[in-house]
Structures are given as C-alpha cells and as structure tokens.
Structure 1
Amino acid sequence: MGEVVNVLVAFAVIVFIFRWATSGGDTVERRSATETLGFRPKPVTQVMIDTIANMFPDIPVDNVRYDLLRTGSVELTSNKILERGFLDAPPPAYYTLFPRDANAANTNRPPANAAGPARVPEKKPTDTLISRYNLQDRVAKAEPVPEEQIGGKAVWEDSPEKREASLKERKAQMILAARQRMLAQQQKSAATDN
C-alpha cells in the first residue's frame, strides 16, 4: 500500500512540474489575449502581415492579422485566400487587443515606411526618356535620325562593353526617332486646328 501512495505522489508531482514548465511562458498579456480571442494566438510579425497585404491588397489588414494569429503561417493564410477568395472578419473582441488606427481605416495597405519588401519609387513627372538616357545634347543639336538607322539589325560585338554601347546607341536612336515622330504629329495637329 505504501508503494502505491508513493507512485501516486510521484505521478502528481511529475504532472504538476510538467504543467508548470509548459505554462510558465504565459504572461498576463498572453492569457488575456487567449481569453479575449478564444484561442491561443500565434506570434505574428509585421513582415508577415506586409507579405500578405502586398500579395492581396484588397483584403483588409485586420482580417490578415486575425487569420495569421490563428494560423501563424503566411502560407496557410495565403492558401485560404486563394481557395476562398476572402478572409473572415475578426470578432469585435479582436479590436480590444488591436485597435484600429485612423490611418489604417482609410486604406487597407500597410504604411509606406513599414518594414517589408522594397518598394519601387514613384517616377517624378519631369522624368523623361531624354533626361533618363542623357540625350539632352543630342536633342539640342536637333539632328534628324534617318528611318533606316532606327533600331535596325544589331551586329554581334566581340566584348560585352561593345555590346552594351551598341544597345545604348540603338535605344538612343529609337528614343530620338520617337520624339521626332511625336513633334511632327503635334505640328500636324496644330496646323489642322488653325
């Protein structure tokens, strides 16, 4: 009989130690999140949210964060969107933990300064092909480009530097020829308007 009591006490101590070791990481914040949401939320980073938001810009960010809290996986959330076409809206209790921002209410996209994939900078309205390829001096000379020189068949050059220079020259000729055609068309339409 004494051995049975010792085994039961040892078993109870082992269960107590196991529960203490596995639940020791729960903080008050984590417990309140579990109680509020009704499930134990997985760790979610801003990069994960940005990844989904960039792939599916029409899905609200709150829906994305809520689903990521449930799954903890970008792949599972993106597969759910692809299969269903939408994500469930979070319950009202979700907004007690993650209040809506005034800026986030206006747009579903993450802010531009958020960490995530590099974004392509917007072109300035004054950025033209002439300025991008530094052809201002050739435009100032206003030398016409003969039609047979435009584009044309490229000759395979021996070195990569020569091939690059040849490609740049062909691009420049095509840009200048397109500019000539545009100016001629504008002059023609201006003459017909008068």
Structure 2
Amino acid sequence: MEETYPPYTKRPAIMVDIVIFTVADERLKVLLIKRGIPPFKGSYALPGGAVQIDTDQSLEDAAKRELFEETGVKNQYLEQLYTYGDPQRDPRGWTVSVAYFALVAADEIKLNAGTDAAEAFWYPIQGNQLKISLAFDHAHILQKAIERLRSKLDYTDIAVHLLSKEFTLSEFQRFSDLLELLQIKP
C-alpha cells in the first residue's frame, strides 16, 4: 500500500553534489559539467544528482554512483563535506544537497558527461575560487571543499589519492612542491 502524507509533511528532494579534485598540468583542478537541461541550462555546475530511492542504499552510494558516472572511477577517496538545505538553493523547489569531495589521480579518469550534462571538463582553481560563475550554490560548496582540502593536507596523507599508482621520484617532488603551494592560504 502506498503511503500518503498530509500536505504539511511534504518533503524536499535529496541530492548529492560532488567536488571532484585532481592535479593535472601541475595545477589543482575541479571537475565541472555544463548543464544540458534547465534550470541553468548552459551554465557550469558541480556534478551531482538526485538520490535514487530504488537503487541507492545510502547517501554515500549515491555519491559513488555519481562519481563513477562522471569520471569512470570507482573506489577513490570520497568524504562527506557538508549538507546544504536553503529552500531557495534550487529554483525547481526545495532540495537538500549532501555535498562530498573526491580526490582522483588524473590518469585514472575517463570523463563522461552524465545524464543532465552537455559536457564535462577539468577547470583550474585559482585561490579559493574559479574565474567563472557556477549554477545553484555550487560556488559556495566549492569554496568549502577547497578550504577542507587545504586543511586536511596539513594533518593527513590524503594527497596520495591525487597521485598515479606508479610515479617517478621527480614527479613526486613536483607534486610535493604543488602541495606546499596549495597549503598557502590566499
């Protein structure tokens, strides 16, 4: 029997948004999509989508599914970042987004625009932001993810997830120099 709810218990949609970082061309980059559908058709956004009640067993499963759909990568570093629930964050209606960030090695990625994306590409981060505007509240989400990444670089070894499985000593030294630059607050 299908459950029914009184009007006062209408629920917001649950989404996952993922900030996917990599290092390529000696720069920290983030994966962006160009939206292929409204709202914000033609605008840039972080990858993400709705939690699929029939297939996702958890919010993390939804994030992993979105990560795989956009990059072709499984089993990468994935961490819950924050929950965003401003009722005005999406013009389609009230959506709650559980944001994650992921770290992937550039050589393991096969970019693939997902179901609502016209294209997917890597965009370089400059300071704590991008030089382009993002749809929804994604600029704010990205800024929080950059802050979290920089903070975690100080006290964890998560940076290894940005390296290829095999690397040379000179590649590691250039990577170490880049990490030092990333830790400098703008």
Question: TM-score band (shorter)?
Answer: under 0.3
Tell me the TM-score normalized by structure 1. Answer: 0.24
Higher helix share: 1
Structure number with the bigger relative contact order (C-alpha 8 A, sep ≥ 6) is 2
Higher strand share: 2
Tell me the TM-score normalized by structure 2. Answer: 0.25
